Every structure is written in C-alpha cells, then in structure tokens.
C-alpha cells in the first residue's frame, strides 16, 4: 500500500542505454553545444579514452589519463590546469568510479557539463555526490554542479570487465539500494527502484560469472546497477557508506572491495530496526536471511571476505571508529562504540554474521 505524503527529487540526467551506444557520443556532445571536450580516464583505461577521442573527432581537445581511486584533490588540481590551458568546455569520463569522480570534481569547481561512459556498476554517474580525499581523509558533498548531464550506458563496454571486478562493482551497487530502503528520506519511488535493482543484480550476477560475455546478463546487471545508483542519488547515506568512506580514506582500501565486505555486516547491524526494508530485501533476494544471503553470494563470487585481506591493519579499528563517530551519517540504529566495534572486528576478521 502506498504511503502518505512524501518528497521525491528527480535528478536532471539524460540516460542513453543499450548496446553500441558509444556511437551516440558525438550527437550528445552536439546537443550540449560542446566543442572542446577533455576525455578523462585512469592510466589503465587510456585505450578506451583514445577510442572515445576518435568518436569525438575534432571535438576532443585532449586526454587526461591520471584519474585514480578516492579522487585525490592533488590529481584534480592537475586536471584543472589542463582544463584552463586548453579552454575546455566539457568533460567525458570514460571508465569506472575513479574517472567519474574526477569529472565530478572538475565540474564542482568549474560547472562544466559532463558526459559519462561507465564501464562498471558502481553508479557514481547517477548521483550529485562527490567523495574526495586529502591528507588521508575522505569527505563527501552534494551539489547540483556535481550531477552529470548525460550518461551513456553501453552494455558492450562492460563485456570485458573481469568476473571478480564485476562482482565487486555489483556489490557496490547493491549497497546503494540497501541503504536507500531504510534512509530517513526514502519514499515509494525509491523503494520500487531499490527492490527491482537488487532483484536484477542478484539474478544476473551468477550468470555473468558463468558467462562473462553474455550480453543479456550484462544488460540486466547494468540495468540493476543503474536503478540502485538512482536510489543513492536521492536519499541520505547511512552507516555502511560512512564506514566505507572512512576506511577508504584512512587506509587507502579499494573502494568496491570495502563495500562488498562491509555490506552484510552493516545490514545485519541495522536489520532489527528496519523490518519493512528487510521484507523488501528478502523478497528481492529470494531469501529469509538477506544479510546471510549477501555474505554467501560474496563467497560464491570469490570476493575477499575480510577487511584484513585487503590491507586494513587491526590496530586501525579504534581509529576508524573514532572517525566514523565524527559527523555520523543518518542511521536507523544509534551509532554506539560497542556495537560498532563488534561490527568492524567481525568484518576485519571475516568472522561471519
């Protein structure tokens, strides 16, 4: 049954979804009136950036291929120097969350239009949220300037994403929907997108692992990730995202792996306080134990199951708790040292729920 009054903020993003949609890039640039575009990528994705430049032709003014994890401010400053020197009027972010994050950081400071070509399922392209790091601390902010104008989802660009990275990225997407279901500003529209997004990802992920180049399975996974990202863009983040941002900033942990490990523990931590959200998650996942099902799915995907496995030191738990208690995100369960310490100890050791 539909709830009573609610507020749903639609985000002004244009989405092009399908196979071979990278070919729409020149027309989208024309629609935005862009003539001097800077293509952004990580060093590993420079090949894709070169391909994007060829599609753009004389609309491409250059490539900046130094995007990196957690969007360090010093890298953004380097990119801004090129933006000024080349009189850039827009950016094309080609790749995963690192490239998208750099495009957002540039747009925040310049208000330049963004076109994003995602190659993963992380979902940053659908949000007005930017996380940046400086001096081992990651901060997040929201702004209309951060929201990309155009997102081109090309299923073909995901076909070569390694199965393990696909799974890690998909768990990142799942986290967006999970927290959106019990966010204080959730609403029936978000609940509908979150539940369908989780259902699509959980159903498609095993198929992608078995047949990585199966375009139908990849399309379903990308569709689910898109829905989950839409949820993140219009709701408040909770304890799970606070922990992941804190751990990533403090210990330079890989973003997707951190999400994948922490998610079942954070969900189990909050579950007693959010029965309605748990009902939706269990229905979407097809299990009476949503947190346990996610932990088993991670195991089946070969995902690292402990924070210690991805480089977090045990003596960092106390420091992480201290940072997580600073400006905590809204969460259905009060943030207290004892339960939080237990959560992180178990996630660090991969001790199970």
> Which pLDDT does position 6 carry in this prediction?
85
Contact assessment for residue 124 and residue 232, using Cβ atoms and an 8 Å cutoff: no
pTM (predicted TM-score)? 0.92
Beta bridge mates, 116: 93, 151
Q: Angle at CA 246, nearest 5°, toward 240 and 250?
A: 150
Architecture of domain 163-349: Up-down Bundle (1.20)
Of how many residues is the chain composed? 353
Nearest CA among 116, 101, 113 for reference residue 66: 101
> Which pLDDT does position 341 carry in this prediction?
96
Q: How far apart are CA 212 and CA 229, in angstroms?
A: 22
pLDDT tens, 289-326? 999 999 999 999 999 999 999 999 999 999 999 988 88
Q: How far apart are CA 256 and CA 302, in angstroms?
A: 13
> Which pLDDT does position 2 carry in this prediction?
56
pLDDT tens, 48-68? 999 999 999 999 999 999 999
pLDDT tens, 73-110? 999 999 999 999 999 999 999 999 999 999 999 999 99
Contact assessment for residue 14 and residue 226, using Cβ atoms and an 8 Å cutoff: no
Which conformational region is residue 248 in: left (phi greater than 0), alpha (psi within -120 to 50 degrees), or beta? alpha
Return residue ranges of the chain for CATH 3.40.50.1970.
14-158
When pLDDT is averaged across residues 224-247 and rounded to a whole number, the result is 94
* H runs (alpha helix) in the chain: 25-31, 46-56, 73-85, 97-110, 163-181, 188-210, 215-234, 239-251, 255-270, 275-285, 290-300, 317-324, 337-349
> Which pLDDT does position 198 carry in this prediction?
98
User: pLDDT band at 3, cuts 50/70/90?
Assistant: low
pLDDT tens, 268-279? 999 999 999 999
Q: Out of 3.20.20.70, 3.40.50.1970, 3.40.50.2000, 3.40.50.1220, which CATH number does the structure's domain 14-158 have? A: 3.40.50.1970
pLDDT tens, 166-223? 999 999 999 999 999 999 999 999 999 999 999 999 999 999 999 999 999 999 999 9
Return residue ranges of the chain for CATH 1.20.1090.10.
163-349
Query: Token pair 């990142």 is at which residue?
Result: 172
The CA-based dihedral angle spanning residues 183, 149, 65, 77, taken in that order and rounded to the nearest 10 degrees:
-80
pLDDT tens, 244-256? 989 988 998 998 8
Q: How far apart are CA 334 and CA 205, in angstroms?
A: 33
For 230-279, the DSSP string reads HHHHHS---HHHHHHHHHHHHH---HHHHHHHHHHHHHHHHGGG-HHHHH
């Amino acid at each position: 049954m539909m709830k009573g009054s609610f507020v749903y903020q639609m985000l002004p993003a244009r989405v092009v979804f399908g196979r071979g949609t990278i070919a729409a890039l020149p027309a989208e640039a024309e629609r935005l009136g862009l003539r001097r575009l800077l293509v952004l990528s990580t060093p590993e994705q420079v090949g894709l950036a070169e391909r994007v430049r060829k599609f753009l032709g004389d609309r491409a003014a250059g490539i900046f291929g130094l995007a990196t994890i957690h969007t360090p401010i010093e890298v953004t400053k380097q990119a801004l120097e090129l933006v000024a020197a080349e009189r850039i009027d827009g950016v094309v972010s080609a790749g995963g969350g690192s490239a998208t994050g750099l495009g957002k950081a540039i747009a925040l400071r310049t208000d330049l239009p963004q076109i994003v070509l995602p190659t993963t399922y992380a979902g940053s392209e659908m949000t007005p949220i930017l996380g940046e790091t400086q001096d081992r601390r990651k901060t997040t902010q929201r702004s209309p300037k951060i929201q990309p104008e155009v997102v081109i989802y090309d299923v073909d660009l995901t076909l070569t994403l390694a199965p393990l990275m696909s799974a890690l990225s998909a768990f990142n997407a799942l986290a967006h929907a999970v927290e959106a279901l019990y966010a204080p500003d959730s609403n029936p529209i978000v609940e509908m997108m979150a539940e369908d997004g989780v259902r699509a990802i959980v159903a498609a992920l095993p198929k992608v692992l078995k047949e990585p180049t199966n375009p139908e399975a990849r399309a379903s996974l990308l569709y689910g990730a898109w829905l989950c990202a839409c949820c993140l863009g219009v709701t408040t983040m909770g304890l799970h995202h606070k922990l992941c941002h804190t751990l990533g900033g403090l210990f330079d942990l890989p973003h997707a792996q951190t999400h994948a490990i922490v998610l079942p523990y954070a969900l189990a931590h909050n579950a007693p306080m959010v029965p309605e959200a748990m009902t939706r998650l269990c229905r979407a996942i097809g299990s009476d134990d949503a947190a346990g099902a996610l932990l088993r799915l991670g195991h089946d995907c070969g995902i690292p199951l402990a924070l210690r496995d991805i480089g977090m030191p045990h003596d960092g738990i106390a420091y992480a708790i201290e940072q997580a208690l600073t400006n905590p995100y809204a969460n259905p369960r009060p943030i207290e040292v004892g339960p939080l310490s237990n959560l992180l100890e178990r996630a660090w050791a991969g001790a199970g729920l």
